[in-house]
Chain A
Amino acid sequence: MESDEAAEHRMRTMVLEAFADTIIPGEKRGPDDAAIAGVDVGGGAVAGGAIDLLEDPAGGIAPALETICVELDEYAREHAAATGLDLDPDLPPFVGLPFEARTALIEKLTSPDHPDKQMWVGLALFCNMAFDSAPHMHTVDALASGHPGLLAMGYESPEPDGLWRFPTFSYGRQLADPHPSTTSTGSPA
């Protein structure tokens, strides 16, 4: 039997996953996956490790996650009411929103005139980072374990010592005329 605390944590995680999945969407983990909307193929921000990153004490957003989820659900309820959407009572309200409504709500929360914009932009920034740079992991480990974001971006792997080197790096020829007024030091005049 799941404790109340565990159930609450599970619900909170679902809300954060639904938010992260709206920033960089991915595919569902299974048929009962309500948090991930499943609008894209391959892993998105959630598979990239968004929850691990958000909960990393080094990031600074972890202490605010409870509040963030409560507020996100409250905004979701308002949004559903305003747009005539029915919410599944078994799901946290934000998770109950379809992908397009989640997107519309996040656009509103991160718009320049929203009073809490900074918080929502911060949350989005971390979700984006989980996908495109995996800062909760050593980059070498992330690549070795097939991190979905770095792989999708085609991020090159390092040499065996864990450092990147590109011995072949140049087209090797002049491709434009320099500015005619360039000075003898190579600077603009």
Chain B
Amino acid sequence: MTATESTDVLVIGSGFGGAIAAYHLAAGGARVKVFERGPWLKADDFEHDFKLGASYTRVFDFVIGDGMSVLGGNCVGGGSVVYFATMPRAPRFVFERHGSIGRRMWPAAISRDALEPWYDRVAEALPVTQQTWDRVPYAGGLFAAACHHAGRTANPAPSAIDVDMCTNCNWMMAGCRFDAKRSLLLNYLPAALAHGAEIRPLHEVQHLARNDDGSYRVHYRVVDEEDYRILHGEGTIDAKIVVIAAGAGATPVILQRSEPHLGRMPHAVGRYFSGNGERLNTAVFDEDRVREVLKLSRPDGRAYEAYQIGRGPTVASWDRLDGALPEFERYSLEQLYFPPALGTILAQVPDASPSWFGRGKKEMLRRWQSWLTIFTMSEDDNEGVFGPPPETGNAHRFSQQMLGHGPLRYRPTANTRRGWSLADADVKDILERDGLSRVMPWTNDLVGAYTVHPLASCRIGDDPATSALDDRHELRGHPGIFVTDGSAVPGALTVNPASTIAALAERAMPGIVRAAQDRGVAVTYGAPSPDGETAGRRAVAHLRS
């Protein structure tokens, strides 16, 4: 039995919520440790390789639930390492949503205007940049042209990618080999390390218990670096403040497992999960029609055939992000790339039975370079509920890496299905016009719905009955425990959520610093941007109190 260590602040998870907390608290003078259950890889480790055991399967988790499967990061840097780095801010109406609880879901203190300076801090830190049409890859251009042809608008979406360094290899889900993607490995995390924070990879927190002095004892296991099904030693560490940012698929599971030790959890822990209303459609384009109707042509003469080229999503259509439309009928449509396997098995063949396998599917795969995947982000109904936690982690791991079965149950309500159905019809209208393509939504019959943006499973709010955290992100009834990841976001955002998750984490920092001070930690708030820039700090200076 090893002795229990101690620290001022323990951060669980090293994605946006964890990295931002680790940086501000360490820069402010606190002793900070970050436990991350995944491995710690850097640019040279990120391989262009689908082989099981390559970085692609080491840094990713695909957890199959009952009616909902969740894709998420599993490495130091979390989602920022595996995501597509698309960073729009959430539209104004999102903050006014009621969902199905009969009142505003977001805390009164938070609106788009109130969050802008925190968005600015994130944009400065990563940084986030606007993209230009001359650098939009073919797939984004094709979507834009199809939108224009259908009388719609389309925008190059803001992004945390240094386009000058990007090779458009589309391997960014395996981690960026070229450090073009501005993941947390390049800003908040190295800055946190420079201020003395310690990051421990392959440390999976299992549960928390409360000490007599009001601090917390955190119990963890060490994960095998190759076969994540194997757990090695266990240990404990005491912390005055615990920041949980394990991701919306894992944070509530840790808290549920802690309930026998900590006492009753707020009702909303493990409830109100949102898959960000996500839905996918795959179109197969007719190359001749692309040339004739859209007048598109590559320098080598091909019209398109470029699904493989690019950097994930680059162009989005925001015509339905209209606050005047009824709730559950607003969504964005975004061009997307998904690599083979994760991005192919659920795609359906138009007018074929069976629709997802067999001869028709093989024929569809032969035209893979003419595919275009369209990603819908809509307003779902927060219908996800986590069942009893597995013995360890957040899933029964099936493969040595990546694949597991988790306790999340999701049954889309009529509201959610209405949004999906409107979006499917819209995608069909845009992409099938004048014979450009044939399009079908992905099947939900195999692994349920599918999200890469899990949210809201431990959310902020003003109503204790429907939110697990107060508007400072503190867990109700458990002072000193804060949650700053996607699980804190109250509901679907209709756009990619990373920017909002990070802005909320930035906004929560002054309050967490104050809580640490109240617990006797010598820490102050006021660090500049990780690279030393100070415009963002100046802009929020008056918001701290």
CB contact list, A153-189 vs B, under 8 A: 153-156, 158, 162-183, 185-189
CB contact list, A22-79 vs B, under 8 A: 22-25, 39-40, 44, 56-61
Question: Across the interface, do B341 and A128 meet the contact criterion of CB distance under 8 Å?
Answer: yes
- Min CB distance A179 to B, Å, is 4
A81 at the binding interface (Cβ < 8 Å)? no
How long is the Cα–Cα vector from A52 to B430 in the complex, in angstroms?
Answer: 42
CB contact list, B43-65 vs A, under 8 A: 48-54, 57, 64
Classify chain B: how many residues form its interface, as a range. 35 or more
Out of B90, B92, B315, B357, name the residue touching A22 (CB < 8 Å).
B357
Question: Across the interface, do A121 and B138 meet the contact criterion of CB distance under 8 Å?
Answer: no
Question: Across the interface, do A59 and B134 meet the contact criterion of CB distance under 8 Å?
Answer: no
Out of A40, A124, A139, A169, name the residue touching B309 (CB < 8 Å).
A169
Out of B154, B170, B357, name the residue touching A23 (CB < 8 Å).
B357
A103 at the binding interface (Cβ < 8 Å)? yes
With A60-B399, A133-B339, A179-B155 given, is the CB distance from A152 to B365 under 8 Å?
Answer: yes
Question: Across the interface, do A176 and B145 meet the contact criterion of CB distance under 8 Å?
Answer: yes
Question: Across the interface, do A58 and B400 meet the contact criterion of CB distance under 8 Å?
Answer: yes
- Min CB distance A121 to B, Å, is 5
A91 at the binding interface (Cβ < 8 Å)? no
B169 at the binding interface (Cβ < 8 Å)? yes
Nearest residue (CB) in A for B310 is A169
What per-residue 1/0 map shows which CB atoms of A88-120 lie under 8 Å from chain B?
000000000000000100110011100000100
How long is the Cα–Cα vector from A156 to B308 in the complex, in angstroms?
Answer: 8
Question: Across the interface, do A179 and B153 meet the contact criterion of CB distance under 8 Å?
Answer: yes
Question: Across the interface, do A58 and B362 meet the contact criterion of CB distance under 8 Å?
Answer: no
Question: Across the interface, do B319 and A179 meet the contact criterion of CB distance under 8 Å?
Answer: yes
B22 at the binding interface (Cβ < 8 Å)? no
Classify chain A: how many residues form its interface, as a range. 35 or more
Nearest residue (CB) in B for A180 is B153
Out of B48, B57, B92, name the residue touching A163 (CB < 8 Å).
B48
Nearest residue (CB) in A for B299 is A168
- Min CB distance A40 to B, Å, is 6
B141 at the binding interface (Cβ < 8 Å)? yes
What per-residue 1/0 map shows which CB atoms of A1-25 lie under 8 Å from chain B?
0000000000000000000001111
- Hey, which chain A residues are within 8 Å of B365, CB to CB? 24, 131-132, 149, 152-153
With A139-B50, A170-B141 given, is the CB distance from A165 to B362 under 8 Å?
Answer: no
Question: Across the interface, do A185 and B298 meet the contact criterion of CB distance under 8 Å?
Answer: no
- Hey, which chain B residues are within 8 Å of A134, CB to CB? 50
B contact patch SS: loop
What per-residue 1/0 map shows which CB atoms of B84-96 lie under 8 Å from chain A?
0000111110000
Out of B119, B135, B319, B339, name the residue touching A170 (CB < 8 Å).
B135
The interface centre, meaning the residue of A40, A158, A176 with most chain B CB atoms within 10 A of its CB, is A176
With A124-B357, A154-B369 given, is the CB distance from A40 to B153 under 8 Å?
Answer: no
How long is the Cα–Cα vector from A182 to B147 in the complex, in angstroms?
Answer: 16
- Min CB distance B179 to A, Å, is 13
- Hey, which chain A residues are within 8 Å of B332, CB to CB? 188
Question: Across the interface, do A177 and B153 meet the contact criterion of CB distance under 8 Å?
Answer: yes
- Hey, which chain B residues are within 8 Å of A158, CB to CB? 48
Question: Across the interface, do A185 and B405 meet the contact criterion of CB distance under 8 Å?
Answer: no
How long is the Cα–Cα vector from A128 to B405 in the complex, in angstroms?
Answer: 19
B279 at the binding interface (Cβ < 8 Å)? no
Question: Across the interface, do B158 and A171 meet the contact criterion of CB distance under 8 Å?
Answer: no
B538 at the binding interface (Cβ < 8 Å)? no
How long is the Cα–Cα vector from A60 to B396 in the complex, in angstroms?
Answer: 11
What per-residue 1/0 map shows which CB atoms of A123-153 lie under 8 Å from chain B?
0110011011111111110100000011011
- Hey, which chain B residues are within 8 Å of A167, CB to CB? 167
Question: Across the interface, do A171 and B138 meet the contact criterion of CB distance under 8 Å?
Answer: yes
- Min CB distance B417 to A, Å, is 15
Question: Across the interface, do B89 and A183 meet the contact criterion of CB distance under 8 Å?
Answer: yes
Question: Across the interface, do B49 and A140 meet the contact criterion of CB distance under 8 Å?
Answer: yes
- Hey, which chain A residues are within 8 Å of B309, CB to CB? 156, 166, 169
- Hey, which chain B residues are within 8 Å of A107, CB to CB? 354
With A111-B445, A135-B341, A176-B148 given, is the CB distance from A187 to B48 under 8 Å?
Answer: no
Question: Across the interface, do B157 and A132 meet the contact criterion of CB distance under 8 Å?
Answer: no
Question: Across the interface, do A185 and B155 meet the contact criterion of CB distance under 8 Å?
Answer: no
Question: Across the interface, do A169 and B137 meet the contact criterion of CB distance under 8 Å?
Answer: yes
- Hey, which chain B residues are within 8 Å of A150, CB to CB? 340
CB contact list, B508-534 vs A, under 8 A: none
Question: Across the interface, do B495 and A185 meet the contact criterion of CB distance under 8 Å?
Answer: no
How long is the Cα–Cα vector from A39 to B360 in the complex, in angstroms?
Answer: 11
Question: Across the interface, do B366 and A164 meet the contact criterion of CB distance under 8 Å?
Answer: no
How long is the Cα–Cα vector from A153 to B302 in the complex, in angstroms?
Answer: 16
- Hey, which chain A residues are within 8 Å of B229, CB to CB? 60
- Min CB distance A50 to B, Å, is 12
Question: Across the interface, do A154 and B89 meet the contact criterion of CB distance under 8 Å?
Answer: no
Question: What 10 A-B pairs are tightest by C-beta distance, nearest first?
Answer: A176-B154, A165-B167, A187-B89, A186-B130, A175-B144, A176-B144, A60-B399, A164-B169, A153-B368, A176-B148
**B residues in contact (CB < 8 Å) with A:** 48-54, 57, 64, 88-92, 119, 123, 128, 130-131, 133-138, 141, 144-145, 147-148, 152-158, 167-171, 177, 227, 229, 296, 298-300, 305-306, 308-310, 315, 317-319, 321, 332, 339-341, 344-345, 354, 357-359, 361-362, 365-366, 368-369, 397-401, 403, 405, 445-447, 495, 499
Q: 17 additional contacts, CB 8 Å, given A24-B365, A44-B362, A132-B340?
A: A58-B52, A111-B445, A112-B445, A118-B64, A121-B447, A122-B398, A132-B368, A136-B52, A149-B365, A150-B340, A163-B177, A166-B137, A166-B309, A169-B310, A170-B134, A187-B91, A188-B91
**A residues in contact (CB < 8 Å) with B:** 22-25, 39-40, 44, 56-61, 103, 106-107, 110-112, 118, 121-122, 124-125, 128-129, 131-140, 142, 149-150, 152-156, 158, 162-183, 185-189
Instruction: Sample 30 A-B pairs with CB under 8 A, ordered by A number.
Output: A23-B358, A25-B358, A39-B359, A57-B400, A59-B52, A60-B229, A61-B398, A106-B354, A106-B357, A124-B446, A134-B50, A136-B51, A137-B51, A139-B49, A142-B50, A150-B340, A153-B368, A155-B368, A158-B48, A163-B169, A164-B169, A171-B138, A171-B141, A173-B133, A175-B136, A175-B141, A175-B154, A179-B321, A183-B89, A185-B123
